[in-house]
Structure formats: structure tokens, C-alpha cells
Amino acid sequence: MTGGVSLDGVLIPAATPFDPVTGDVEILNFRANIRAWLEHPIRGIVVGGSTGEAVFLDRAERRALLEGARTVIPQDRLMVAGTGAESTRATVALTLDAAEQGADAVLVQPPAYYRGAMTPEALRRHYRTLADASPVPVILYQVPLRFSTVEFSTGLVAELSEHPNIIGIKDSRGDLGALSDLITHSRDGFQVLVGSGTALYASLEVGAAGGILGVANLVPGWAGDLHAAFRAGDHPRAGALQERMAPLHKEIVAGLGVPGVKFALDRLGLVGGDPRPPLAPLAEKLRPRVTTTLERAGLSAEK
């Protein structure tokens, strides 16, 4: 096991394109999107995250996406695999698959179906068992609370941060105070990533390493440049980029979810396509909202 993976930067939780006729994952378009994103200063790609509709992907599809992604992601960029499942056994199996396909780390949301039984002790046991078994570093994932999930306590994260193979957390609650508490109470070197595209600048100010941002599917350059400008001490530029990026997160990512992100990708010349059922495509009446938001941001619909 190795904990020496730097998460400093912005990672893109990649949307997953599906064939409009068969419904199968479209590996060629997935790889084409990744190539386009990697033209920008991003830290890496998350395969099988929430924006990637991971809950709808079977084990073979996850493996295929990881295999396809690794062929176009160079070794100096990260490939992180979402491997969370409801049982510890399944989570370990997905994690071993991911390591075999070349993942640099895994991003693991908590099991939540039996939510009332997910006590701190149950979660502690789950993550320590996984971290002991994983050949690659583990990143905890605090899923947005509007989803079906459980919420980590700061104390539990601090305890888990002491495990040498648990290297960080993605916190998508959008609560800057809670994120700051994680940074304060976890061990030195534990890397905290923000999940909200409106909060990257403020999160960096309080000590975050970076972010895994759904909005970076749409504006990888802005997101990567914001992080780089902040690290270079160019706070005016970083702040200006945050102001430009925030409406895209609010209106499209948070406001419309996966269907909105995928429709926006299509408008920007990448491949989004329709979500996998039961998620429905973005409603016709909402599509002008995406187009208008992109135009106000100065983004071309024919990138």
C-alpha cells in the first residue's frame, strides 16, 4: 500500500456517455471527452463518481470504463475510481478491480441503504477493512446530503485519517465550516477536497487541497486555472474565475443534476447524451436555461 498520492488540484468526476440505441457505455466517446479535458491543467479524472451515474453501472462496465480511461490518462495525471458499494465485500471487490485497471486511488462513499445501522463503529470497521485490503489509497466521499447517504462526523473522519492508506476526503456538503473542521481535526497531510463548484476558492483559503467538481466537466480550464492561480498567489485572478464558475454550478450542476450536465456537454461540443433510465433526459422546457447560462458565461455552444 502507498499513501504518497498528491490530490492537490482539480479532478473531474467524468460523465458517462451511453449509446442512444443499445444503452451500453460508449467507451470511444468517453475517451474522447477525457482527451479534451486533459488539454487543461487538471489533476486527473474520477471514473464512476456521482456525475458518472456510478449507481447505474455494473461491475463489468466499471472495469471497461477504467480500462478505456487509463489508456488516455498519462501517468502524471490521476485516475481515481469510484468503488463504493453497499457491502464491505463488494466494495473491496470493486476496489481490487480498480487497482488492477491502473487506478491511482479510490473514492468510496459510505453504505447507506441500512442507514440507521451505519453507526460510527460500523463505518469505522467498513473503511478500515477496505483500507487494509486496498492496494491503492482510499479517499472518503461525503456524498451530498440531498442524496440517499449518511453523514460522517468530524470525529470519525479524524479517526479514519490516522489509517496510513486513507489519504483524504471529498466533502460535497457545501458547508465551509464543516469542511474547515475536517481540515483542523484530521491528521497532518490528510487531503480535503471540496465537491462544490461555488466553493473552491474559499476552500483553498481554509486549507483544502483542491476539488472534485462536477462543473469541471464543463469548464476544466477555469477550474484548473483557478487552483493554479491561487497556488501562485494570484488571488484576484482566482477570485474572478470563481465568480465566473459559480453560476454554472448553481444553475446546471446543482440546479439540474446529471441531466443538465450531460445536456450542457452536448452544447459544448463534447459527448453527454441521455442519462441511463430511470433518470430522464433534461426536460425540453429546461433546456433554454442551460443554453442561457452557458451564453451568459461566454461559452460557445460549438466548442
What residues does each domain of the chain span? 9-232
Question: What is the residue type of 141?
Answer: Y
**Residue 259: predicted pLDDT:** 98
Give the whole-angstrom CA distance, residue 158 versus residue 91.
Answer: 21
Give the whole-angstrom CA distance, residue 268 versus residue 285.
Answer: 19
Name, in order, each residue with C-beta under 8 angstroms of 282's C-beta and a sequence gap of 6 or more. 256, 259, 260, 262, 263, 290
Across-strand partners of 140? 108, 169
Catalytic residue among 170, 250, 262, 285: 170
Q: What are phi and psi of 26, to 5 degrees?
A: -105, 95
Task: Output the tens digit of pLDDT for each of the chain's 303 residues.
Answer: 345 899 999 999 999 999 999 999 999 999 999 999 999 999 999 999 999 999 999 999 999 999 999 999 999 999 999 999 999 999 999 999 999 999 999 999 999 999 999 999 999 999 999 999 999 999 999 998 888 899 999 999 999 999 999 999 999 999 999 999 999 999 999 999 999 999 999 999 999 999 999 999 999 999 999 999 999 999 999 999 999 999 999 999 999 999 999 999 999 999 999 999 999 999 999 999 999 999 999 997 543
Give the whole-angstrom CA distance, residue 233 versus residue 183.
Answer: 21
Residue 170 designated active-site? yes
Give the whole-angstrom CA distance, residue 78 versus residue 170.
Answer: 15
How many angstroms separate the Cα of 205 from the Cα of each of 176, 187, 240, 246? 10, 18, 15, 16
Question: What is the residue type of 54?
Answer: A
Name, in order, each residue with C-beta under 8 angstroms of 234's C-beta and a sequence gap of 6 or more. none
Across-strand partners of 80? 46, 105
Residue 287, Cβ density class (10 Å: 0-12 exposed, 13-18 middle, ≥19 buried): middle
**Residue 301: predicted pLDDT:** 54
Instruction: Give the Cβ contact number of residue 19 at 10 Å.
Output: 12
Contact by Cβ (8 Å): 2, 136? yes
Task: Produce one character per residue of 168-205: b if its CB has 16 or more CB atoms within 10 Å, e if not.
Answer: bbbbbbbebeebbbbbeebeeebbbbbbbbbbbbbbbe
**Residue 146: predicted pLDDT:** 87
**Residue 303: predicted pLDDT:** 39
Quote the crossing angle between the two packed helices 88-100 and 120-133, to the nearest 10°.
30
| Residue-level length of the chain | 303
Radius of gyration, alpha carbons of the chain: 18
Give the whole-angstrom CA distance, residue 191 versus residue 193.
Answer: 7
Q: Which CATH superfamily is domain 9-232 in?
A: Aldolase class I (3.20.20.70)
**Residue 44: predicted pLDDT:** 98
